[in-house]
Structure 1
């Protein structure tokens, strides 16, 4: 057993080693419960320094696991969605603890305002000048359920940090196997938001990240707040039902969630019918879905068609398509005169995206299943591994109710234009698509203005945890301050896209959803049309040629290595 880790294979569970790890964590959780907030913030900053030190090892290991060419711009995804995301979360969480230690709310000084449907919202992006520079033209707000007052939101922000002295025990984090920051970010939320120590079981797909994670998060390991273990379903099952585990968090599929909660086979079905779960402790989850990309018709220029086609290609192909938040169902108007031109641009963008291997297990089978359901599907890209399905008059059920977790994009037509189209698209997204994690809406600012209050009512009607307007919901994952999870309402029997939230570095209590806003047009067209956007192409676009350099520089800046890295990163992004 290496320091801070316990090893167990899929076939043999080393119960004694796992027992010792959990006993260490139980003691660590007890100490953590009484740790003053300034000391908690200091531990997070030591962890931040360790992540910065080992960021390159983390990013390059992830790139190797995913079979990326070291010279490919796609390596930028591993910098941004790996160590960069962890660094920004650690910095924001430490800042939140500082504010709470001074007796103030993390939401004090932020802008509250009305949101549609009698709701209140608070602006959480940008929070400082750096965010204004890095994400120029983007903003984010957190909506609260109707009836939540500004005062309640401010008083309850802080979660576990408001309950010093109260231990949450030991939490089990069943780590995701796709985006490498997901496991450590889920651990951080257990530790900071819930006063827990955490045992992280790595997904076998990311087994090679054990070493980088152990070194990057050594301060948490040394404090008795983290142990990292390897293994498959047997290890996960042993831990989930261990007497010392007080809470389970899983990022994965609803099938894995239900296996933990109810078991498997006919006995599981009987438990579910009786409402008697096998799991005896609370569980939270993030389980994905078939995310919509709603394209509101309008008179788009050729440049706008091309840019938003690259946007759609990114929503589907980022990380190879192996994202729980990947855009899967492109909802377009059957009556849009530019429908064919836009789909041609989408085809071209998908086909031209840089090559990468189908690295996630089962990808070929899932892609083949989509083609079997839609024999007329188009095979795109250098090896034909990317699939575009125009459902047309066919049955949309398969593409709407199965999370492909592969480079498969469906196109579903809805009649109408303007408000009629948008309302019909919202109904489809709510009623026909599986999951409630994230929805994307693309609309010209002029068309949004013409819809007036009707646009806000449509957004309020969308039952999704993150809604991105002229942005990708993946940005909501990347941002530290925004809560990340399904729309409220998931249950043990019907988890949907999951239960609860993570990330949420402002420790907001009771958020309903996150709403992101981005620029419809890139620079320079944005400036010419009066929009705020100084980047020709966001660095997370799969078509960004300088993404690897930008990601490395941004991670170095986020790690506090040198202030000059910020202008260098901005210059690199501008050349994308």
Structure 2
């Protein structure tokens, strides 16, 4: 049984109430109709722009995002209850303006390649993965990224049968045929990570030549003035309109006769309501236009047993806690189920380190609407769970306890489960992968932690095992969020989602190289930080990464990284790097 300090009164914020869909007032309908009409005119304007003119739009967007970056991060942090000086405010720099800036730069590079008559892949290394898959090594693509994100790489694995020649020829998607309009889309923005609606609008425009109506989630209403300024270069010519409202506004837009496509980031329940309506599922979908979606899921963290030092146990425990507690657990990619070997001699030491790290991570509000209900559901399903962090974080050890609830419920809150499986080495890895594929809801992201010696012993059998892990992003000694943050990587469910069954969604986003035929992204990171990474597996010059929730200097370093992306000031960046070593 796991033990944490006695729970205090819950700090969970009260659940917000949402209205049932209703007929909209006439003035609201007219306003939405006018927005759709404006972007439909803007769609024609976009189709007339040359690639050079589009790159100019991206540069204007970059300047606009840079101008509001500080306000963006501050408003986002404050809206989530992180007051000035809170050690986790850096999250809002990285997952907000930083993500927007690096994406804009990457898209501009893609347009530059296409303008020259080439492919975005002309200077990108290609390789292969088991099963005849073509691999695109999507980061780092510059010396700057190799330094700032030392030891971390991303690869996009294309679907079997897509050759390197196919990849090179097809990269660029709609920007290869800029005059072919994708029409008008509705983007139903996520409510948790502030860059998501921004990046989704960009991808619609770049991958499909599709202009958008962005309906902001009510949790991000405070950011609308920031978005309006950051996205002004799209709003002014009619490529975008931003609207507010609840589910009834989204419902009206998805059924609008002049809308051609819907993209949603949200829950499976929201997706079903859009496609099929509420109540008994009809014979045919309520939605009559195509839809893409990113819907989350229950993400596994597979801990492959090996010989770990006490420092390894502490570091990887903090790594897992970051996967769960970033943004207070309100992430579709938050690690939720730790799969650990019951035959690992260090199993109890590992769980002890995990419990300690989970409890001592900085306190923060559990702010997302309905989180209290989700935590209460976990409390009811697992009455013997340990409640850590002043009683706001559930840690569930399922040994001898029914694990179905934590395996199938995306809690979207600080709930972390531990499930024991038998075996070591390849046997354990294969067992854990089968368990993740067959028992856990969703196919969005999976994490694997493995020490260098065990990795080397498994050799190519490890790569073949990764092939069998059916997730849209697989992170090895990293968190899948690194793939989310890397603009040249792809983000989305493993292929195969349908209107009838799409537990983690349909389609991909980000993908700034505009690759076609994508199967998944693979992220790789260092098992150990600097200086312990020297000569012991993948080298990294980074100490504890600034996105770790236990980083003492994370807020300053994340802000410094973002400001460097804005101005490229190396002397200031040197000061930031010194701060990073104080983590």
SS state at 2:383 partner: coil
- Alignment of 1:431 with 2:431, yes or no, is no
SS state at 1:141 partner: strand
Query: Structure 1: any 5+ residue segments left out of the alignment?
Result: 1-7
- Among 253, 273, 285, the alignment partner of 1:239 is 253
The residue that corresponds to 1:3 in the other structure is none
- Alignment of 1:203 with 2:217, yes or no, is yes
CA contact (8 A) 1:9 1:232 kept: no
Q: What is the CA-CA distance between 1:572 and the residue it aligns to?
A: 2.2
Q: Distance in 1 between matches of 2:495 and 2:49?
A: 32
TM-score, reference length from structure 1: 0.96
CA contact (8 A) 1:59 1:82 kept: yes
Q: What is the CA-CA distance between 1:9 and the residue it aligns to?
A: 12
The residue that corresponds to 1:392 in the other structure is 399
CA contact (8 A) 1:34 1:166 kept: no
- Alignment of 1:557 with 2:564, yes or no, is yes
SS state at 2:396 partner: strand
CA contact (8 A) 1:481 1:505 kept: yes
1:441–1:316 CA distance, 2 compared to 1 (3 A): same
- Among 207, 231, 236, the alignment partner of 1:193 is 207
- Write the mapping of 1:136-147 to structure 2, written as runs, cut at 5 A: 136-147=150-161
- Alignment of 1:324 with 2:349, yes or no, is no
CA contact (8 A) 1:33 1:164 kept: yes
Q: What is the CA-CA distance between 1:565 and the residue it aligns to?
A: 3.3
- Among 474, 481, 487, the alignment partner of 2:481 is 474
SS state at 2:556 partner: helix
Q: Distance in 2 between matches of 1:84 and 1:239?
A: 30
Q: Distance in 1 between matches of 2:538 and 2:208?
A: 40
CA contact (8 A) 1:443 1:469 kept: yes
CA contact (8 A) 2:318 2:354 kept: yes
- Alignment of 1:35 with 2:59, yes or no, is no
- Alignment of 1:449 with 2:456, yes or no, is yes
SS state at 1:98 partner: helix
- Write the mapping of 1:183-332 to structure 2, written as runs, cut at 5 A: 183-266=197-280, 269=281, 271=282, 274=283, 276-332=284-340
1:10–1:130 CA distance, 2 compared to 1 (3 A): farther
Q: What is the CA-CA distance between 1:388 and the residue it aligns to?
A: 0.4
- Write the mapping of 1:370-409 to structure 2, written as runs, cut at 5 A: 370-381=378-389, 383-409=390-416
Q: Please report the RMSD computed on the Cα atoms of aligned residues, expressed in angstroms.
A: 1.3
CA contact (8 A) 1:88 1:480 kept: yes
Q: Distance in 2 between matches of 1:228 and 1:51?
A: 16
- Alignment of 1:342 with 2:350, yes or no, is yes
Q: What is the CA-CA distance between 1:112 and the residue it aligns to?
A: 1.2
- The more displaced of 361-370 and 282-291 is 361-370
CA contact (8 A) 1:10 1:231 kept: no
CA contact (8 A) 2:302 2:448 kept: yes
Query: Structure 2: any 5+ residue segments left out of the alignment?
Result: 1-18
SS state at 1:359 partner: coil
- Among 411, 422, 427, the alignment partner of 1:415 is 422
Q: Distance in 2 between matches of 1:478 and 1:247?
A: 25
CA contact (8 A) 1:546 1:572 kept: yes
The residue that corresponds to 2:520 in the other structure is 513
Q: Distance in 1 between matches of 2:538 and 2:46?
A: 47
User: How many residue pairs end up in the alignment?
Assistant: 562
The residue that corresponds to 1:548 in the other structure is 555
Q: Distance in 2 between matches of 1:170 and 1:574?
A: 47
- Among 358, 361, 364, the alignment partner of 2:369 is 361
- Write the mapping of 1:48-67 to structure 2, written as runs, cut at 5 A: 48-67=62-81
The residue that corresponds to 2:13 in the other structure is none
CA contact (8 A) 2:525 2:538 kept: no
Q: Distance in 2 between matches of 1:535 and 1:443?
A: 19
- Among 165, 179, 185, the alignment partner of 1:165 is 179
The residue that corresponds to 1:460 in the other structure is 467
Q: What is the CA-CA distance between 1:529 and the residue it aligns to?
A: 2.1
1:212–1:535 CA distance, 2 compared to 1 (3 A): same
Q: Distance in 2 between matches of 1:148 and 1:572?
A: 44
Q: Distance in 2 between matches of 1:345 and 1:530?
A: 22
- Alignment of 1:522 with 2:532, yes or no, is no
TM-score, reference length from structure 2: 0.95
Deviation sequence 1:13-38 (CA, Å, 0-9, x none):
50111111111100111110121101
The residue that corresponds to 1:115 in the other structure is 129
Q: What is the CA-CA distance between 1:484 and the residue it aligns to?
A: 0.4
SS state at 1:198 partner: strand
Q: Distance in 2 between matches of 1:529 and 1:434?
A: 35
- Write the mapping of 1:14-25 to structure 2, written as runs, cut at 5 A: 14-25=28-39
**Runs of 4+ deviating beyond 6 Å:** 8-11
Deviation sequence 1:366-416 (CA, Å, 0-9, x none):
0111121111100011x1111100000211111100101000000011100
Deviation sequence 1:423-449 (CA, Å, 0-9, x none):
000000100000000000000011011
Q: Distance in 2 between matches of 1:17 and 1:296?
A: 55
Deviation sequence 1:476-516 (CA, Å, 0-9, x none):
11111001000000000101100000011110111100001
SS state at 2:579 partner: helix
The residue that corresponds to 1:132 in the other structure is 146
The residue that corresponds to 1:181 in the other structure is 195
